Structure 1
């Protein structure tokens, strides 16, 4: 499949270079849901796309995680009026469609289809990575997390950036394929390829839920 998309020999080239080994699956994961807010899951927004299937898969994963007492962290991008209207945030010059992500508006609210619970955590960010300039690292360390199950949007932007910073921060990264999405299939697939090769394991939802179910048995004991 990879060779068909990226050219013959791609898999062999990366394997020969020493990429693509499996990451450790720890006993204390957290589910980090990146930017599944209305501004990204509603195609009516400039920054949005129809991510109905991603929201549904993420919801299923979270419900399995609850049984294993796995913490859930949601993120949102939200800008003040001064940030959204001015030039202080360089990223908004490159991506002006994201200027709609203003504090206090429906665009930055979590998608109402998600199973948000009072026990969950919310991290507000200004950039792509959920780690950059936020309290996420200290939060995960305080929760004694060793593995991040990464969900959300978009695969080529905030998900990839968060995966890179997660592994650089010492966390194993697992990305359930059904739980991440993008505006177009090309960037989505290309970045899943890179994540699998360099930063974490891209797995299917069944594998992710089996991992959580194994933890649930440990909790039951």
Structure 2
């Protein structure tokens, strides 16, 4: 059994589509790369988990006080970008309301039930959701691995600063080529 899982963070309409409420062009650019990684991982029978940023419609959420409303349940903005093709029979979709995919969700339970040791993380908002999910994965004794070409935020400089910190303090940052090579060798 594979002890690694691919975690796709918040690749939802509001972030990835030019009509989305918090769209950044960088998110659209990483979509095909994430799709390529998902397809590769599926061929290797790796567990795939989609984290879906989603706020309840008409309900208070303190995150929405200081930011533009986005990813509201039922708006379509919370829907995973269709380019990524969720396999409803095998993949998990976990809704979240905070930056970390672990906070207030059953992500840790799903990973433990599937005997996962390595969390391969891709998706959006390197400075918020990626960083928080990586940090919590590290504190929960998973090995976080971030694929460099498959994460983004609204600033390339901010993206690089957070990748540097992630690599220094919490886990690994690898290229797609390195990731594919390690999968082929059975190193993940």
TM-score category of the 2 structures, normalised to the smaller one: over 0.9
1:68 deviates by 1.6
Q: Which has the higher strand share?
A: 2
1:31 touches 1:70 (CA, 8 Å); kept in 2? yes
Is 1:75–2:51 an aligned residue pair? Answer: yes
- 5+ residue gaps, structure 2, are none
Corresponding residue of 2:87 = 117
1:46 deviates by 3.2
Is 1:32–2:7 an aligned residue pair? Answer: yes
Secondary structure at the counterpart of residue 60 of structure 1: helix
Corresponding residue of 1:203 = 174
Corresponding residue of 2:112 = 141
Counterpart CA distance in 2 for 1:185 and 1:164 is 20
Give the number of aligned pairs: 185
RMSD: 1.6
Counterpart CA distance in 2 for 1:66 and 1:176 is 16
Counterpart CA distance in 2 for 1:81 and 1:52 is 26
Q: 1:126 aligns with which of 79, 97, 102?
A: 97
Corresponding residue of 1:93 = 65
Is 1:108–2:78 an aligned residue pair? Answer: yes
- 5+ residue gaps, structure 1, are 1-26
Corresponding residue of 1:10 = none
Secondary structure at the counterpart of residue 30 of structure 1: strand
1:53 touches 1:178 (CA, 8 Å); kept in 2? no
Counterpart CA distance in 2 for 1:43 and 1:131 is 28
Corresponding residue of 1:172 = 143
Q: 1:65 aligns with which of 38, 41, 45?
A: 41
Q: Deviations over 1:154-187 (max 9, x none)?
A: 1111000000001111100110101101111121
Corresponding residue of 1:3 = none
Q: Which has the higher helix share?
A: 1
In the superposition, the TM-score normalised over structure 1's length comes to 0.79
